[in-house]
Amino acid sequence: MSKKHTETIEEVIKSAKEKSKHQKYVLRLYVAGITPRSREAIRTVTAICEENLAGRYDLEVVDIYQQPTLAKGEQIVAAPTLIKKLPVPLRKFIGSMADKEKLLVGLDLRPKDT
């Protein structure tokens, strides 16, 4: 019997979690000018990245007023919007970035409470 068939679910989950600890995150944060809400979103997302992904993330901040073509290409309808491009699955977070716990769960950096 191959190893794939003898692994337990717990072993597969543990292996996936270990692998995710080394994955590079590619994030893009869309903001609308330098408003208090934009500043707060930038601070919050940067802090989460530094605390949880130090050395393994790329964060690009895009001002939709400065680069409207990028925003249109991503179908951004509101700002701030955070897009997690990698690792898959792609995720979008729209609106306030104040709820760190929600962002951590959405970025797969913390398990969802059941």
Are the C-beta atoms of 30 and 71 separated by less than 8 Å?
Answer: yes
What pLDDT, on a 0 to 100 scale, did the predictor assign at position 110?
Answer: 83
**Structural domain containing residue 46:** 24-106
pLDDT tens profile 71-110: 999 999 999 999 999 999 999 999 999 999 999 999 988 8
- Mean residue pLDDT of the chain comes to 87
Q: How many domains does the chain have?
A: 1
Residue 3 falls within a domain, yes or no? Answer: no
pTM tops 0.85, yes or no: no
What pLDDT, on a 0 to 100 scale, did the predictor assign at position 19?
Answer: 59
Residue 79 falls within a domain, yes or no? Answer: yes
**CATH number for 96:** 3.40.30.10
What pLDDT, on a 0 to 100 scale, did the predictor assign at position 1?
Answer: 46
What pLDDT, on a 0 to 100 scale, did the predictor assign at position 21?
Answer: 64
Alpha-carbon gap, residue 106 to 114, rounded angstroms: 14
